Amino acid sequence: MAALALDVDAIRARFSSLRTEWALFDGPGGTQTPDAVIDAIAAYLRESNANLGGAFEASVRSDALVANARIAAASFLGCTPDEVVFGQNMTTLNFALSRTVGRELRAGDEIIATKLDHDGNVAPWLELAHDLDLHVRLVELNDDTTLDLDDLESKLSERTRVVAFPLASNGVGTLVDGRRVAELAHSVGALAWADAVHFGPHGPIDVAGLGVDVLLCSPYKFFGPHLGLAFGRKDVLERWRPYKVRPAANEPVGARFETGTLAHELLAGFVAAVDYVHELGWDAIQAHERGLGEQFLAGLPDAWTLHGLPTMSGRVPTFALTHDSIPPDAAAARLAERKLAVWSGNYYALEVMQELGLPDGAVRVGLVHYNTEQEVDRLLEGLAGL
């Protein structure tokens, strides 16, 4: 059955932040939030603002909220509620969880990351390697920016303990076969450690189907508030010794890795964001984004070079561009004069930009489901106008 078409006008009416002259293609750095998310945050602060574990009404409501947030996260990730870990952001969570697994590692052990990764899934391992005398190896890219799985397989060894990888590149939009990477990691007894931050707004996440052991993402990239979210396979989390204060509960197991009081009001917004995504449905979201991406690629002016896959096959609608003569920062500034919001620089995709020979980075255009065909036309006109 064909996916129902999105009513984009009706969707945009649910976002006060979209009532602007700006055309926003800045989603890879953080998406806009529907008003329901904002209302949920405000309602919590007005009606239920209290810490956990009390007998009084506001505290009881807060207990219920945290439990509900774990259920929402489980539905979003395809796991059980006790396998959910909340934190400040993906990078902070990744530093914390990598230090925890570091308690099992020994000098000479190997971590594999990739040249397609955001540095949030590279730097934590480099720093851990510095502390513990580990070795970090990076998987190469093919010429089209896809991950070289043969190179990954050749780098695996009996000393490999973790294989860290993205589901989608935040730099060039390329997708990764996460299930195959997890299978390769498990073939040598290593943990499969996935960064789903950039994939989060573009498609469904199913940790069981992927077969990963750890997965991290960021709700503010999929229409929610600024939070970090992680999945850890239950038997893995139960095996690790967490860094936590002694009185903190050990159950649910994911909570062992949450240091201190959570941002309850943001969890309320997170639940609303998950409800919003599920209401729209991934089939409709992906069909609309694919159409916008095809429109953009078909109209890209000749003066611009696209770095990455040339069609919408095997990618999400995030595009890295360079102009024949205008540096990325200058191009982004001139587009901003036309009220077109794009990013420039390396956006923490250090290895990708180095592989592409782009020391100044690129202009990054990100499309999400609330963007319109008219906005894409405006952007193409702006790119041509430079």
Look up the CATH number of the domain holding residue 304.
3.90.1150.10
Phi, psi of 321 (to 5 degrees): -130, 150
Residue 377: its pLDDT value, please? Answer: 98
Number of domains in the chain: 2
Same structural domain for residues 189 and 335?
A: no
Which residue type occupies 44?
Y
- The Cα-based distances of 125 to 35, 120, 153 in angstroms read 38, 9, 19
Are the beta carbons of 199 and 174 closer than 8 angstroms? no
Look up the CATH number of the domain holding residue 124.
3.40.640.10
State how far the Cα of 338 lies from the Cα of 375, in Å rounded to an integer: 12
State how far the Cα of 293 lies from the Cα of 297, in Å rounded to an integer: 6
Residue 1: its pLDDT value, please? Answer: 43
Contacts of 194 (CB under 8 A, 6+ apart): 164, 165, 166, 167, 178, 181, 182, 210, 212, 214, 215, 216
- Number of helices and strands in the chain (H, E): 14, 13
Which residue type occupies 142?
N
State how far the Cα of 157 lies from the Cα of 28, in Å rounded to an integer: 34
Select from 365, 375, 265, 249 the least CA-distant residue to 306. Answer: 365
- Evaluate whether residue 32 is within a structural domain: no
Same structural domain for residues 224 and 337?
A: no
Same structural domain for residues 122 and 243?
A: yes
Give the pTM: 0.97
- Evaluate whether residue 33 is within a structural domain: no
* Cross-strand partners of 195: 166, 216
State how far the Cα of 58 lies from the Cα of 51, in Å rounded to an integer: 8
Could you say which of 214, 245, 277 is where a domain stops?
277
Residue 381: its pLDDT value, please? Answer: 98
The percent of residues in the chain predicted with pLDDT above 90, rounded, is 98
Q: What is the pLDDT of residues 344-376, one digit of tens each?
A: 999 999 999 999 999 999 999 999 999 999 999
Could you say which of 225, 248, 277 is where a domain stops?
277
Residue 174: its pLDDT value, please? Answer: 98
Which residue type occupies 96?
A
- Evaluate whether residue 31 is within a structural domain: no
Q: What is the pLDDT of residues 318-351, one digit of tens each?
A: 999 999 999 999 999 999 999 999 999 999 999 9
Q: In whole numbers, what is the pLDDT of the chain averaged over residues?
A: 97
Q: Which residue segment(s) compose the domain that 354 sits in?
A: 8-25+281-385
The percent of residues in the chain predicted with pLDDT above 70, rounded, is 99
Same structural domain for residues 171 and 268?
A: yes
Same structural domain for residues 211 and 119?
A: yes
Same structural domain for residues 172 and 309?
A: no
Model confidence at 23: pLDDT above 50: yes
- Evaluate whether residue 159 is within a structural domain: yes
Residue 3: its pLDDT value, please? Answer: 56
Are the beta carbons of 311 and 331 closer than 8 angstroms? no
Same structural domain for residues 76 and 149?
A: yes
Same structural domain for residues 311 and 260?
A: no
Left, alpha or beta for 168 (phi > 0: left; psi -120 to 50: alpha)?
beta
Same structural domain for residues 13 and 78?
A: no
Are the beta carbons of 129 and 135 closer than 8 angstroms? yes
- Evaluate whether residue 379 is within a structural domain: yes
Q: What is the pLDDT of residues 229-254, one digit of tens each?
A: 999 999 999 999 999 999 998 999 99
Could you say which of 277, 310, 325 is where a domain stops?
277
- Evaluate whether residue 1 is within a structural domain: no
Residue 359's CB: how many other CB atoms inside 10 A?
8
